[in-house]
Structure 1
Amino acid sequence: MNNKVCFIGASGFVGTRLIETAKNEFSIKNLDKQQSHFHPEITELGDVRNQESLDAALTGYDTVVLLAAEHRDDVSPVSLYYDVNVQGTKNVLAAMEKNGVKNIIFTSSVAVYGLNKTNPDENHPHAPFNHYGKSKWQAEEVLREWFNKSPTDRSLTIVRPTVIFGERNRGNVYNLLKQIAGGKFAMVGAGTNYKSMAYVGNIVEFIKYKLLNVNAGYEVYNYVDKPDLSMNELVSEVEKSLNKKIPSTHLPYALGMLGGYCFDILSKVTGKKFAISSVRVKKFCATTQFDASKVHSSGFVAPYSLSQGLDRTLKYEFVHDKKDDITFVSE
């Protein structure tokens, strides 16, 4: 078993939970441009854009888990997506070659498929609609090129998660759950569109599962916790967890998009970033379902159902007293 694992970019939401999950199984180092709130003792400051720091960091390691990415909707300048997500991946692979590291797990995204696709599986054509998705696809292509140079003794696992939620996360799902839980929620559209989601407690267990079962070869997995929920069903889950009736208002899609465009203009004029934008309204109303039969037939068993993940998150965020105010911002 490859025991020495270098996590790159694990000071954030997913990485923190992954370290917690895997620290008793592996000898772990975390390389990140940000210090870790919870695991500073194994964290070394470094940046995927700095080749020297990568070369030094991977000395003596067997495996890389590459989590580092620019992923928010509103990164500026857009060149950062490509500097970090694409060139950063090239730099990591160069450091791996210098150090003889032959195993990498890479977190990509279902954003490589684009919007409103019909339940795409891992072989679905790529059609990313934003710079994040485009840069993730380009990074995947770089990784496949690296793997194909020596496919008999290299291991490449690409994990394409859908939107990930969980305790301490401050992203789009948290904002949505907060609005629903607070009763300040307007449903844009009929609420019958389905949303694939992934609970952080499950995605990190899957990555650990792949670390424990390393084989030469190339695999790509969509990661989604099934079954998918419609927006109306999601509201019902919140009601059940919090034991309260949630009032909801339905707005026509056109009106919701108009509001999003107004916030786009306001953001440009003021230079401020808002929780509402045309992109986020479009994503909210889109059906985002992805086929995850491959991951769930791989031998991996998710420790939590989607309902349990939502319940744990809702209770942590809106019911139980918190020991601290440490949170992680993502999409």
Structure 2
Amino acid sequence: MACIVGGSGFIGTCLSQRLTKATKSFSIIDKAPSRAFPGHVQLADVRILDALRQSIPENAPLINLAAEHRDDVRPLSLYDEVNVGGARNLCTIAREKNVRTIVFTSTVAVYGFAPIGTDESGKIAPFNDYGRTKYEAEQVFKAWQAEAPEVRTLVIIRPTVVFGEQNRGNVYNLLRQIASGRFVMVGKGENRKSMAYVENIAAFIEYSLSFKPGVHIYNFIDKPDFTMNQLVGSVKRILGQPEQIGFRLPYEVGYAIGKGFDLVAAITGKRLAISSIRVKKFCANSVYNTAIDKTGFVPPVPLAQALEQTIRHEFIEKHDDEPLYFSE
């Protein structure tokens, strides 16, 4: 039985749905309850060793999705406590419970503002505490695997920005602005973005549970990569809007506006939808390559179909009283 740590969230719920359809047993370990799978949850915080120990059975494969991930987490020490400290606690229990497989969802944020086409061998250069602590957690899990390399399997998955139905992250916020007709393009829109659909990531996590002993590191991207102009045009077409993009805000102006919002957030203590780092990330290239093809894995949902499914679910169809998942 696989244990999905942090499984009450967006990716964990999708993975649980896949495992249910495949009639595979699993448990969810999370500090928050799961609306979708309440009967599978054991409440525990990755920062509290004893609670984790009681929740994880002998020999259970561990899938670690638990993380502090937002740009505005305070205090900053939470990144280390949850992402790194949580990894240490899981490895401690993995040693005690004879766990032989750990799947860890890291992030492409470990590369920072990476060159176009960065693959798994790319330079590690995180620009924030999220990326830094995710990479440090990778090293914790690698140390665990190296203690018994012939029998232990470690899979590290570094997804790019994740989207899908019921998610309230950065991609949803972009789609909502376009749907509302209030979207303003910042910059020229020629920068390209890699994205990942939640169903495809969940499918790869399930697939990776069969990997042999060793360390397996993969970026996760759904191809092809869109330019921002192409992405916005596609969304407008699906929504039945004219595809052309109207007013564009120069990057320098947009970044200055973001800095202004940073100041307001610092004074008021409020989390705001606009910030300088979000403007910078919006206008940056974020294009990655992956070696996943070599594993034989085929994503179940093509990217264009995934985007259309998400837009129709969120802005055309009605889905009342469904759980929502908030992320970056």
TM-score, length-normalised on structure 1? 0.96
2:76 to 75, 78, 97: 78
Aligned to 1:297: 294
User: Secondary structure of the residue that 2:3 maps to in structure 1?
Assistant: strand
Q: Is the 8 A contact 1:192 1:231 kept in 2?
A: yes
Report which stretch shifted further, 55-64 or 268-277. 55-64
Amino acid across the alignment from 1:96: A
Displacement after TM superposition at 1:248 (Å): 3.2
1:308 — aligned with what?
305
Q: 2:26 aligns with which of 25, 28, 48?
A: 28
Structure 1 stretch displaced more, 83-92 or 59-68: 59-68
The 3-state SS of whatever aligns with 2:53 is: helix
- Return the alpha-carbon distance in structure 2 between the equivalents of residues 195 and 40 of structure 1: 35
Tell me, in whole angstroms, the C-alpha distance in 1 between the residues paired with 2:204 and 2:114. Answer: 26
Partner of 1:145: 143
Q: Does 1:175 align with 2:173?
A: yes
Q: Name the counterpart of 2:230.
A: 233
* 1:51 paired to 2:68: no
Q: Distance in 2 between matches of 1:304 and 1:120?
A: 23
Provide the C-alpha distance between the structure 2 equivalents of 1:61 and 1:72, rounded to a whole number of angstroms.
Answer: 32
Would the aligned equivalents of 2:68 and 2:82 in 1 still touch at CA under 8 Å? yes
Q: Unaligned stretches of 5+ in structure 2?
A: none
Residue number in structure 2 paired with 1:221: 218
Aligned equivalent of 2:113: 115
Q: Distance in 1 between matches of 2:228 and 2:77?
A: 34
* Aligned residue runs from structure 1 range 320-331, under 5 A: 320-331=317-328
Q: How far apart, CA to CA, are the structure 2 residues paired with 1:91 and 1:300?
A: 31
Q: Which amino acid aligns with 1:10?
A: G
Contact 1:170 1:327 in 2 (8 A): yes
Match of residue 125 from structure 2: 127
**In structure 2, what is the equivalent of residue 155 of structure 1?**
153
Deviates more, 1:110-119 or 1:136-145: 110-119
Q: Which residue of 1 aligns with 2:67?
A: 69
CA displacement, residues 237-278 of structure 1 (integer Å, 9 cap, x when unaligned): 102211221553211110000100010011111111110000
Distance 2:37 2:246 in 1: 41
**Deviation of 1:116 (Å):** 3.9
Counterpart residue identity of residue 26, structure 1: K
Deviation at 1:118, TM superposition (A): 2.6
Matches within 5 A, 1:80-95: 80-95=78-93
Q: How many residue pairs are counted as aligned between the two chains?
A: 326
- Do residues 198 (structure 1) and 196 (structure 2) align? yes
Stretch of structure 1 that moved more, 236-245 or 123-132: 236-245
Structure 1 residue 297 displacement after superposition: 2.8
Q: Following the alignment from structure 1 to structure 2, what is the Cα–Cα distance between the partners of residues 220 and 125?
A: 14
Report Cα offsets for 1:35-66 as digits up to 9, x if no partner: 00110000010010111111111123420000
Give the structure 1 partner of residue 266 of structure 2. 268
The DSSP-based 3-state class of the residue aligned with 2:216 is: strand
Does the CA-based 8 Å contact 1:9-1:68 persist in structure 2? yes
Q: AA paired with 1:124?
A: G
The Cα shift of 1:326 comes to: 2.0
SS in structure 1 at match of 2:89: helix
Distance 1:248 1:296, change over 3 A: farther
Show structure 1 runs of 4+ deviating over 6 A.
none
Contact 1:70 1:84 survives alignment (8 Å): yes
Name the SS of the counterpart of 1:65 in structure 2.
Answer: strand
Report the CA distance shift for 1:204/1:315 in structure 2 as closer, same or farther (over 3 A): same
Question: Could you say which residue in structure 2 is the equivalent of 1:248?
Answer: 246
In structure 2, distance between residues paired with 1:248 and 1:43: 48
CA deviations on 1:127-161 (whole Å, 9 max, x unpaired) are 00000000000000111111111100000000000
Question: 45-54 vs 112-121, which deviates more?
Answer: 112-121
Is the 1:48–1:84 Cα contact (8 Å) retained in structure 2?
Answer: yes
Report the aligned-residue RMSD: 1.1
**Bigger CA drift: 252-261 or 232-241?**
232-241
Deviations 1:187-209 (A, max 9, x none): 11100000000011111011111
The alignment-based identity, stated in percent, is 45
Tell me the CA shift for residue 214 of structure 1: 2.9
